[in-house]
Chains A and B, each alone.
Chain A
Amino acid sequence: MLQFKLVLLGDSSVGKSSIVHRFVKDTFDELRESTIGAAFLSQSIKIKDPNSEEDVVIKFEIWDTAGQERYKSLAPMYYRNANAALVVYDVTEADSLVKAQAWVNELKQKVGDENLVIHLVGNKVDLVEEEPSKRVITVEEATKYAADENLLFKEVSAKTGLNIKEVFQTIGEKLYEIKQVELAKNPGNGNGINGDQVNINLPRPSTNDSTSCCS
């Protein structure tokens, strides 16, 4: 199973968390106890390997801003080793696309990885469907910006679930494609984690494990 870190960005109240909850729990609003306290949310999807046609499971580790974006107080830890980013704006909020663009610049500066997959998302299209006059950011405007910056782009609704799964599916496929290219370049470098450095799993002390054999 391949695992990728995905971070959410965008201004407060554009609906970042709602998108994730729609994707992870397939719910909108309410009853979120089971996610409370989780360091981040995770959700797996299946994609098809374009060559072998076999199913591949991709797991997203999704980091929410936890409100730390409000005063531009996101920690370096948040961006570190991110493979993908979902940058969200609100199609009914005039300056939210401008702010999303600032987040894209911030991302490119903070994440050194040129393989970072950035998906721009215009949320709350449900409001526009109810009341077309609410739209202040056109599809054309956002599409053009996304094309210029080489971003993926889609309009979604966390409330109705429109295009939510598709967005993550697209990101997953893109990440898989990049991974395949990377593997072809340096085979044997499993999950992109470098060298022989061993990370320690803190909740798993070895003392209690009488079956472990340390030489």
Chain B
Amino acid sequence: MLSPERRPSMVERRPSFFSFQQPTPLIVPHLAGIEDPLPETTPEKVDVLIVGTGMVESVLAAALSWQGSNVLHVDSNDYYGDSSATLTVEQIKRWVSQINDNQIPCYKNAKLYVSNDIGPNGKYQSRTFGIDLSPKIMFAKSDLLSILVKSRVYQYLEFQALSTFHTFENDSFEKLQNSRQEIFTNDTLPLMTKRNLMKFIKFVLDWEQQPEIWEPYKDKSLAEFLVDKFKLDKPQVFELIFSIGLCYNIDTKVPESLQRIRRYLISFDVYGPFPVLYSKYGGAGEISQGFCRSAAVAGATYKLNEKLVTYNPETKIATFEDGSKVEVEEKVVMSPSQAPEYSYNMPEQKYEVHRLTCIVEKNCSEWFNNSESAAVIVFPPNSLKSGNKEVVQAIIIGSGSECCPDGTCIWYLSTTQQGPRAEMDLDAALEAMEISIIRESSTKIPEDDNLVQVTQDGHSIVNSFKLGQSFKEYVTREKVQLLAKLYYTQLTNTPPFNVVNPALFDHSQEQINKFIPNASDNGVIYTAMPSGEISYDEVVTAAKVIYEKIVGSDDDFFDVDFEDEDPMAMGNDGTAPTYDENAIEDDDEDEDVDMNRDDDNNEFVGKMEI
């Protein structure tokens, strides 16, 4: 029943509600698929129409459905995910030609090469690849992760660990020293540097409570702050800003960088010695499917291949391309990527995210930690031949993720560099990666006595390492076999920084009040396209802002209390686990994150008076 503390949901606020008090739990909406028979036609009237099944829209659909809203969720594509989709190679081909026919707003300049090795007559089948349009990683301590758990959507998904962060420097990859243990045991670091580094790490875990330290620097770059205040040297500064903080340029301001560094550190060791997870079979595409399914379980109606043509805020009628209509009682929410013709209200999508995605015929296990199948590679400013000003980031996804077949790997490169030089930076980073993976995989040739090895198909290969040839020479002869190469520019109105700030996503009010004659999208609330941010950080913030606009408050955002026992959280012996859910929901309770549980190094801690 209604508890006095809980703000009534929209269902409860409807006048019809109190006329038939039901004994069943009020939070539970109509269950599609379980209540039958189901209507065969599109509902005539819904509370909310959501157009596009990307991450933000899908999280919103699930949140609203569980809150009790009657949601119709459509997508003009024949697949789920929209701008967050995970696609097969064949689907990518179609997507690229749609972009080049100007059929998909917010994307431009798409170029695709696909080798004949992928296809009906090739070695690899199109459907064995899952290519993310917006590749993302998930921090172990993040709002999205806690909502995945709370909503039980995680049960539809499988997650794997990612612990390897490489930084490209001086023409080679440095593996990130990311645990306290590694910092302590790193012989190359002078004691003084270790001490300063530990001092900073201790500060950053609790930085918001110590404004006296950082506030004088709040408009300065983190680099300046680190050098000035913590006496750190360039290698550590770069590592903190670019590998741990995953910032986009050297000018990133102090508070934002501190928040990003803390995000990494508090995520470390939540599930094990790694800060980041990714979902199997595809990233955002899988997660958005999961939220859509959750919304469907809560009663939302799903319709793919349904394109909105126009919405009339006066009659509240939304009209689709196939001629069907629906009356929308409350709000229409739409992704800019699904905007119909005459969408004069769409916010300007002024930021570019440039992406280069390659499928390579190498397993790239050299870059992964044991039992993992993914890595992140960061190219700091000025580390590439192109003289890059902004960072290039790469997410490497191997076949263990089931996103690509054995022996292949997907490289997702992106940069927030604006304009045509972005493509040059991406190409330079790709070249550096190609050289590196060949070099690293060739050093793996076993150092046995055989100078000449014979491959399976009878060709002899000379072990150049043993023959004393320089790697550089060796490199020029071998090439990484690219099975596919995809380049595109995505537009967004979300800048690639500060994406946890709700104010960034709160630009819909002005739209609603505007009425442009002949516009097809009057009264429509637009969601934000994915930004250049490498993590999912913006998703929940963006969904909540719109949720609040519709429901009036975000208090009950995913305030679902499932009464049944959770079969997946049960141990194999059938006993309930003893975890404390707060541990992952409430950042503040866990300030004292132990980054290293290896007590062997305690001697250092003592000496360093932390």
Q: Which residues on A are within 8 Å of B, measured CB to CB?
A: 1, 12-13, 15-18, 21, 32-40, 42, 64-68, 70-73, 75-78, 80, 112, 195-209, 214-215
Q: Interface code B571-582, partner A: CB below 8 Å = 1, 0 otherwise?
A: 010000101110
A-B contact pairs, 10 of them (CB 8 A): A37-B298, A68-B292, A70-B40, A70-B301, A71-B305, A76-B79, A77-B290, A77-B293, A78-B293, A208-B583
Known contacts A197-B160, A214-B272, A17 near B34 by CB under 8 Å: yes
Q: How many Å from the CB of A82 to the closest CB on chain B?
A: 13
Say whether B46 faces chain A, with CB atoms less than 8 Å apart.
no
B25 contacts the other chain (CB 8 A): yes
Instruction: Check B292 against A75 for contact (C-beta < 8 Å).
Output: yes
Q: Is B271 an interface residue (CB 8 A)?
A: yes
Given contacts A66-B32, A200-B271, contact A195 B400 (CB under 8 A): yes
A67 to chain B, nearest CB (A): 3
List chain B residues, Cβ under 8 A from A12: 36-38, 40
Find out whether the CB atom of B34 lies under 8 angstroms from the CB atom of A204. no
- Assess whether A206 is in contact with B271, with CB atoms less than 8 Å apart: yes
Known: A18-B36, A68-B293. 7 other contacts (CB 8 A): A33-B28, A36-B563, A64-B34, A66-B293, A198-B371, A209-B579, A215-B598
* Interface-central residue, A32, A64, A68, A215, by most chain B CB under 10 Å: A68
Q: Which of A34, A64, A78 has the most CB of B within 10 A?
A: A64
A123 to chain B, nearest CB (A): 11
For B155, give its contact among A15, A39, A68 (CB under 8 Å). Answer: A39
Let me know if A200 and B161 touch, CB within 8 A: yes
Residues of B at the A interface (CB closer than 8 Å) are: 24-25, 28, 31-34, 36-38, 40, 79-80, 127, 140, 145, 148-149, 152-156, 158-161, 269-273, 277, 280-281, 286, 289-290, 292-294, 296-299, 301-306, 370-373, 400-401, 560, 562-564, 566-569, 572, 577, 579-581, 583-584, 590, 593-594, 597-598
Q: CB-CB < 8 A to B298: which residues of A?
A: 37
Contact A208 B580 (CB under 8 A): yes
A197 in contact with B371 given A68-B296, A73-B302, A206-B270 (CB within 8 Å):
yes
Q: Establish whether residues A205 and B563, one from each chain, have CB atoms under 8 Å apart when the complex forms.
A: no
- Residues from chain B with Cβ under 8 Å of A214 in the complex: 269, 272-273, 597-598
Given the known interface contacts A205-B140, A205-B271, A214-B272, the answer about A37 and B34 at a Cβ–Cβ threshold of 8 Å is no
- Across the interface, which residues of A come within 8 angstroms of B160, CB to CB? 197-200
- Would A70 and B38 count as touching, CB distance under 8 A? yes
Bound together, the chains give a CA A38 to CA B28 distance in angstroms of 12
Q: B270–A207 contact, CB under 8 A?
A: yes
Given A32-B31, A77-B289, A214-B273, the answer on whether A66 and B158 have CB atoms closer than 8 Å is: no
Once the chains bind, are A199 and B159 in contact (CB under 8 Å)?
Answer: yes
Known: A37-B564, A38-B152, A67-B32. A205 touches B270 (CB 8 A): yes
Q: Give the docked Cα–Cα distance between A15 and B36 (Å).
A: 7
Name the residue of chain A whose CB is nearest to the CB of B292: A75
Contact partner of B37 among A1, A13, A37, CB < 8 A? A13
Minimal beta-carbon separation of B34 from chain A (angstroms): 5
Q: Bound state CA distance, A206 and B269, in angstroms?
A: 7
Residues of chain B within 8 A of A209, CB atoms compared:
579
Q: Kindly state the separation between the CA atoms of A34 and B160 in the bound complex, as whole angstroms.
A: 30
Q: Which residues of A contact B564 (CB under 8 A)?
A: 33-38
**In the assembly, what is the distance between CA of A70 and CA of B300, in Å?**
12
Q: How distant is the Cα of A13 from the Cα of B34 in the complex, in angstroms?
A: 9
Check if A204 sits within 8 Å of B579, measured CB to CB: yes
With beta carbons under 8 angstroms apart, the residue of A34, A64, A73, A202 that contacts B148 is A202
* Residues from chain B with Cβ under 8 Å of A17 in the complex: 33-34, 36
A208: chain B residues at CB < 8 Å are 579-580, 583
Given known contacts A42-B567, A67-B296, A75 and B289 CB-to-CB distance under 8 angstroms: yes
A77 to B140, CA, bound (A): 23
**Contact status A73-B303, CB under 8 Å:** yes
Q: Please pick, from B153, B273, B302, the residue contacting A67 in the complex, using a CB distance under 8 A.
A: B302
Partner of A36, one of B28, B161, B400, B594: B28
Chain B residue contacts of A33, Cβ below 8 A: 24-25, 28, 563-564
Kindly state the separation between the CA atoms of A206 and B25 in the bound complex, as whole angstroms.
34
Task: Kindly list chain A residues whose C-beta atoms are within 8 Å of the C-beta of B28.
Answer: 33, 36-37
**Chain A residues with Cβ under 8 A from B293's Cβ?**
39, 66, 68, 75, 77-78
Residues of chain A contacted by B273 (CB below 8 angstroms)? 214
**Smallest Cβ distance from A151 to chain B, in angstroms?**
23
Closest 3 CB pairs of A and B: A67-B32, A13-B37, A39-B155
